[in-house]
Structure 1
């Protein structure tokens, strides 16, 4: 499932993130790329030793934890601590690749299965040209270029790329989520049911039928989820 979520970060959070990134060091993005991806990855990334890395991660994770749409779409069990990248100048693109199924935690303590990938845009579209996130799925090819503070989530199994940035600078946060519901089709059904229930509550209220359907949603979640 490919889904965009607007305004994940507030204006104040976006300004704080931009300020911290402005004074941060950058290294080759290949530090987190697998063997295949490293051949087509040409961007920059914040190293683990960056002065503001912990604060940036807390800021992003705090925003995700309060976002109900992110929760219902991903049903997160674990999130790899977010990473931050930059595309500009000669380090300006990331060719077609697939994200590794298992992601090593930054502290080396273990692995998390990547079910869902996410990109949180930190630069406004008018700050750069190119830099479109292209995602292939069974319905074709999708180009994504969102406002700063907005996010796109998509299956980690998708082939995707970032096209060359030809002007300006594109900064973003990217992350990988292990879902409580491993199967993407089950996850989509639960998301669609939850969204339909929300609309029903708003239009007809908590009727007996709505309460019954809500119970069905939670019983399916109990059956399919691992945590």
Structure 2
């Protein structure tokens, strides 16, 4: 399931983050955090995870993700890794790749299975040319270029790339989520059921039918979930 989640950050929050990121000297080449294969196709900058600015800003993104109702419903997070920051400029790009199946939590050192990828845009679409996130799935290629503060959530199993940025700067935060439900199809079913329950509750309240659907939702989560 691929999902556009609007306004994870307000425009004011984005402006405050951008002011600090644009002035930072903690940008390093993205190849430093890439595996052997990815180094050949990755051309971007990332904020050094050992820098003061990273330690200051990453928790703010993490908190925004943890609070967001759609992130919680769609991803059913068990673990969310500390978000990273990247910048594409001067024809910077990232060729076709699939994210590593396992990442390691800086906070705990534990291995995290990457079920869900999420990119939070911090540049407005008119600030740069190119830089589209292209995500491939069974239904074809999907081009993503969102408003600053909006995020795209998609399966980490997806083949994807970032097209060259030919003008301006494309700045984003990104991270991975280990879900309580490993299977993307099951997560999608649960998300659709959850959204339907919420809409029905607004229309008819906690009717007998809504309570029944809610019971089905929780029993499916109990059946499929890995807590």
Whether TM exceeds 0.5 here: the answer is yes
Pair 1:5 & 2:34 matched: no
1:37, distance to aligned residue in structure 2 (A)? 1.6
Unaligned 5+ runs, structure 1: none
1:83-122 to 2 correspondences below 5 Å:
83-90=84-91, 92-106=92-106, 109-122=109-122
1:28-43 to 2 correspondences below 5 Å:
28-43=29-44
Instruction: Provide the residue aligned with 2:125 in structure 1.
Output: 125
Q: Distance in 2 between matches of 1:174 and 1:225?
A: 24
For the residue of structure 2 that corresponds to 1:118, the secondary structure is strand
Q: Distance in 2 between matches of 1:18 and 1:202?
A: 37
1:34, distance to aligned residue in structure 2 (A)? 2.0
Pair 1:145 & 2:145 matched: yes
- Conserved 8 A contact 1:37-1:98: no
Q: Moved runs in structure 1, 4+ residues, more than 4 A? A: none
1:35, distance to aligned residue in structure 2 (A)? 2.1
For the residue of structure 2 that corresponds to 1:52, the secondary structure is helix
Unaligned 5+ runs, structure 2: none
1:17-96 to 2 correspondences below 5 Å:
17-24=17-24, 25-90=26-91, 92-96=92-96
Give a deviation string over 1:180-215, Cα, whole Å, max 9, x none. Answer: 101111111100100111111122221101011101
Total equivalences in the alignment: 226
Pair 1:201 & 2:179 matched: no
Say what the alpha-carbon RMSD is for the aligned residues.
Answer: 1.2
Q: Distance in 2 between matches of 1:108 and 1:225?
A: 22
1:105, distance to aligned residue in structure 2 (A)? 2.6
Q: Distance in 1 between matches of 2:204 and 2:150?
A: 31
Instruction: Provide the residue aligned with 2:14 in structure 1.
Output: 14
Q: Distance in 2 between matches of 1:162 and 1:100?
A: 16
Instruction: Provide the residue aligned with 1:222 in structure 2.
Output: 222
- Conserved 8 A contact 2:94-2:163: yes
